Structure 1
Amino acid sequence: MTLPNTTASCLDPIALERLQELDPSGANKLIERVVAAYLKALDRMLPELSEARGETLDLNVVRHISHTLKSSSASLGAMELSERCATIETMVRMGQTEGLDVLLDGMLEQVALVRQALLDLSPNAS
């Protein structure tokens, strides 16, 4: 699998190859379906995260979303995003909120990069 330039910068090709090995011929469109599910989940979770960051910070929602994104991002090879999510999840579990906004902003910037890379990889998944 040859990755577009934007993809190569934020998605681990080995993780993508592992996914591709599950559907070597591409007949089942596994990667497209996984990407579509991931993007749909982002469309659902990001507004929830935005609301959770409102006037009263809802740490349970932040923890849940960071935990969910940590795992699903890793499975698609978005390792930097997964690591950011892990850091946020750990902070929230420990009740630390100082600097959380900056980390969440960084996570959202990485989400945008990953989203674009996935769209480049599988344009029909949107």
Structure 2
Amino acid sequence: MSRQGSRDTAQELAVRRLLHASGLRYRVNVPVPGMPRRTIDIVFPRVKIAIFLDGCFWHGCPQHATHPKANAEWWRTKLDKNTARDIETTGHLTEAGWTVLRFWEHVPAEEVAATVHAAVDREKRDRDRQK
């Protein structure tokens, strides 16, 4: 598992390229405030938007997740903890006033980028109205 890439996946790179090409600037792999050893894949700090691009296997995608047969109980526990950690992280960020967007790895990068772009635009408009 130590060889398993957790950052700069093909989907992350594709989404980041599209966001950058559309003029958006962001930060990558930012630690979650107040939660050690957890990072946000793509962050728009000014508008407080956190983007997570979750792998189907590691995060339990209802469509594509597989369940290893060897050492099945250990894997079930491991993957259930991952899912619980995702829920906890999302709740923590939401309570702190962040907008959290999660996408599965099988979602096309263009669709992810369009959704993110719309969310950033909406938050910028809302922030400008409050001024």
Q: TM-score range by the shorter chain?
A: 0.3 to 0.5
Q: If the length of structure 2 is used for normalisation, what is the TM-score?
A: 0.33
More strand by share: 2
Q: If the length of structure 1 is used for normalisation, what is the TM-score?
A: 0.34
More helix by share: 1
Q: Which structure has the bigger radius of gyration? A: 2
The structure with higher relative contact order (CA 8 Å, sep 6+) is 1
